[in-house]
Every structure is written in C-alpha cells, then in structure tokens.
C-alpha cells in the first residue's frame, strides 16, 4: 500500500462495566496525523464528540470489538459497504481527501491499544 498520510491513535480503557455503552470503556486519547489538512482536526474532534455521546461509527465499534489483539484490515473490511456510502465516510474521509486506508492495531497493555491508520489520498 502506498499511503500518503497516517494517523496514530492512542486508546485507553477507562473503568467499564457490562452495559456501559458501545465503547466498552475505550477512549481515544491522543491522535497524531502526519500531514493534517485544513479540516482534519475538525473532523477528528467531531468524531470524538460522537464517541463521547455514545454514538461511535462502525470503524470505532470494530476497533472496540477487536481490542486486546493485534490485527490489520483495509477500511473496506473494517467497515460495511453501507458505511462507505454514508455520512461518516463522507464527513470523515472524503471531506479530508481520504479515500481508502489500512488499519493496524496492537495492544500495549490490557488497558492501552495503539492504532495506526495508513491513508490513501485523492483516489477516484
């Protein structure tokens, strides 16, 4: 994959109990984007707000489901075909000229997970 950009996302698991919401206590706490564009920060802030409100998108819920293990998926396998046609893809990917990505994640400790997202930009 010839990624032109990357996001590093540090996630931590806070206190959680069953029935405690779709994030299961996991929260992204640090994000670093190699080459941020004008709308990257705003889009990430909006996505984080949705997570805090208990409304994460499919890419986030899949990350939560897979937490605790090492994994690698292209966006097309991490998300659903419907998501790729919906507002989250449009608002968080296309608006930032992000068109495809590959996600990799590895646990650091039982309560810390590192997620790397390699991004393809400007594809048609």
Instruction: Give CA–CA dist 99/112, Å, rounded.
Output: 28
- CA dist 27 and 2 (Å) reads 29
Per-residue confidence (pLDDT) for residue 5, from 0 to 100: 80
Q: What is the pLDDT of residue 42?
A: 82
d(C-alpha 84, C-alpha 69), whole Å: 25
- The token pair at 45 is 């802030």
Q: Tell me: the pLDDT tens digits for 26-42? A: 888 778 888 877 777 78
- The tally of CA atoms less than 13 A away on the side-chain side of residue 66 is 19
% of the chain with per-residue pLDDT over 70: 93
- pLDDT at residue 1, rounded to an integer: 52
pTM score = 0.80
Residue 24's domain spans which residues? 5-121
> What total number of domains does the chain contain?
1
pLDDT band at 47 (very low <50, low <70, confident <90, very high): confident
Interval 90-98 mean pLDDT: 81
How far apart CA 76 and CA 100 sit, in angstroms, is 8
8 Å CB contact between 105 and 115: yes
Contacts 24+ apart (CB under 8 A), 46-50: 46/91, 46/92, 47/88, 47/92
pLDDT digits (tens, 9 = 90+) for 104-123: 999 999 999 999 888 776 55
**Residues paired with 10 in a beta bridge:** 30, 114
């Amino acid at each position: 994959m010839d990624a032109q950009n990357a996001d590093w996302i540090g996630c931590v698991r806070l206190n959680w109990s069953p029935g405690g919401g779709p994030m299961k206590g996991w929260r992204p706490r640090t994000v670093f984007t190699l080459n941020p564009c004008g709308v990257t920060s705003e889009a990430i802030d909006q996505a984080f707000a949705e997570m805090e409100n208990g409304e994460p998108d499919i890419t986030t819920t899949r990350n939560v489901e897979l937490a605790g293990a090492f994994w690698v998926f292209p966006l097309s396998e991490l998300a659903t075909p419907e998501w790729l046609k919906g507002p989250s893809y449009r608002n968080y990917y296309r608006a930032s000229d992000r068109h495809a990505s590959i996600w990799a994640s590895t646990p650091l400790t039982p309560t810390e997970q590192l997620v790397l997202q390699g991004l393809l930009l400007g594809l048609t």
